[in-house]
Amino acid sequence: MDLVTIVLILAVVGGLLMAFSIGANDAANAMASSVGSRAITVKQAVLIASTLAFAGAVFLGANVAATISRGIINPEMIPDQNILMLGMLAALLSAGLWVLLATLFGFPVSTTHSIVGSILGFGFVAGGPEVVRWGTMVGIVLSWIISPFFGALLAYLVFSHIRKKVLSARDFVRNAKLWAPFWLAMTVVLVMTSFLLKMPMGKALGISVYAIFGFACVVAAVVWGVGYLVVGRLLHGVEQGPESMEELFRRMQIGMACYMALSLGANDVANAIGPVAAIWVIARTGGLAATAEVPLWLLLFGGMGIAVGVMVLGKRVMSTVGERITLLTNTRGFSVGFGAATTVLMASNLGMPVSTTHATVGGVVGVGLARGFAAVDFRVLGKIVMYWLLTVPIAAFTSIVIFQLLRWSVY
């Protein structure tokens, strides 16, 4: 068996490890606020996340390309293709092991930053510092601050608005009829624009940004009108009090969680099978193309790994994010989901590599701070931030060690 075949087989194993870790960590924390607020049970979250993440990876991740490697290093500066393949294999194994370790301790980390740090590590050793695209790294460092801050700010503002205008209002039913449809309309618009602007299938439609926002305004008006009638019927005869509102937001929160699971499968499957695809392309063509279609069997493989990861270890991270930072209710959980999804959508459209994990944790902290500093467990938060800061350097160092071992065993 030649070297290329052996590396390709090992890369498939490494991709499965990475996909499993993404499911156990990323997919799990995407569902955490819904579990923490008791909108759904852990079993329901596992079923929703595994099913929709698999569907997102297989049906919406078709245009995943080998750019996961090209955006971090310049492969043209590493002329030996065998070295490039060994480096991608080392990056896969390193990132998968780090995310798996963090998951076993129950802490949410960014899988994107893990694979970025791993590729940076082997690239630095294989081709020197000039191989690394340092501009990308600066953007990632900035995202450590930007994504949790804006996730927290948006979640804080949304929950504060709901609490002031609805939960604490004297005329509870009248205000609920006005403002619940408003947030329902904003949720539908957010999901729709995310699909059209961010997901591969939406981008393929080729609709301009102006047309999308114009269409979104029309949809928002229609949803608000329909929502006004529906909410009025649901609240007919209901006694004054915030408990009735929680049930309404519970339904909206489930819809948001379904979208986040679908989106995560479509986008994060690249972190698992992108390097595998890069090795696949090198093995077939002798070089790394600018972009490359990923075979369907690789998408099925990545989707299956994510689904199994959620089912086996997903509960650990769900518990940390959804229950240990602050107490969540349905309105707070909805605010977290809205803040995180909006942050990721806005940053992605500006070309900033933010993490859904960071934005979600920031949102949980934001709704906690809306009730005062005592409502947030800063000891748990401090440990989470420590894992974030360690992700890139540990992934890079581990990748260097694995890469050197592979290189010494071959040459």
When pLDDT is averaged across residues 284-301 and rounded to a whole number, the result is 70
Structure tokens at 38: 């008791």
Over range 280-301, report the average pLDDT: 71
The residue type of 197 is L
| Cα–Cα distance, 351 to 335 (Å, whole number) | 24
The whole-angstrom separation of Cα 270 and Cα 282 is 17
* Residue entry with tokens 């930053």: 113
Q: What angle do CA 303, 308, 250 make, to 5 degrees?
A: 90
Mean pLDDT, the chain, integer: 82
Closest CA to 367 of 395, 389, 339, 392: 339
Residue 155 zone, left/alpha/beta (φ > 0; ψ -120 to 50; rest): alpha
Model pTM?
0.84
Structure token pair of residue 379: 């000891």
Closest CA to 341 of 160, 150, 201: 150
Strand partners, 388: none
Check residue 198 and give its pLDDT. Answer: 66
State the burial class of residue 71 (Cβ atoms within 10 Å of its Cβ: 0-12, 13-18, 19+). middle
Q: Predicted confidence band at 97 (pLDDT cuts at 50, 70, 90)? A: very high
User: pLDDT tens-digit profile of 51-84?
Assistant: 887 777 776 655 444 445 556 777 778 878 888 8
- Which region holds residue 41: left if phi is over 0, alpha if psi is between -120 and 50, else beta? beta
Please provide the distance, in angstroms rounded to a whole number, between the alpha carbons at the two ends of the chain: 16
Q: Is the pLDDT of residue 404 over 90?
A: yes
Within its chain, how far is the Cα of 331 from the centroid? Answer: 21
* Helix/strand/coil for 132: strand
Residue 188 pLDDT > 50: yes
Paired with 132 in beta bridges are 73
| Selected residue with higher pLDDT from 68 and 259 | 259
pLDDT digits (tens, 9 = 90+) for 381-395: 999 999 988 998 999
Largest CA distance in the chain: 78
- For residue 21, how many other CB atoms are within 10 A of its CB? 29
CA separation, residue 200 to residues 56, 192, 197, 220 (Å): 10, 13, 8, 23
Q: Which residue has the higher pLDDT, 122 or 255?
A: 122
Answer yes or no: is pLDDT of 149 > 80: yes
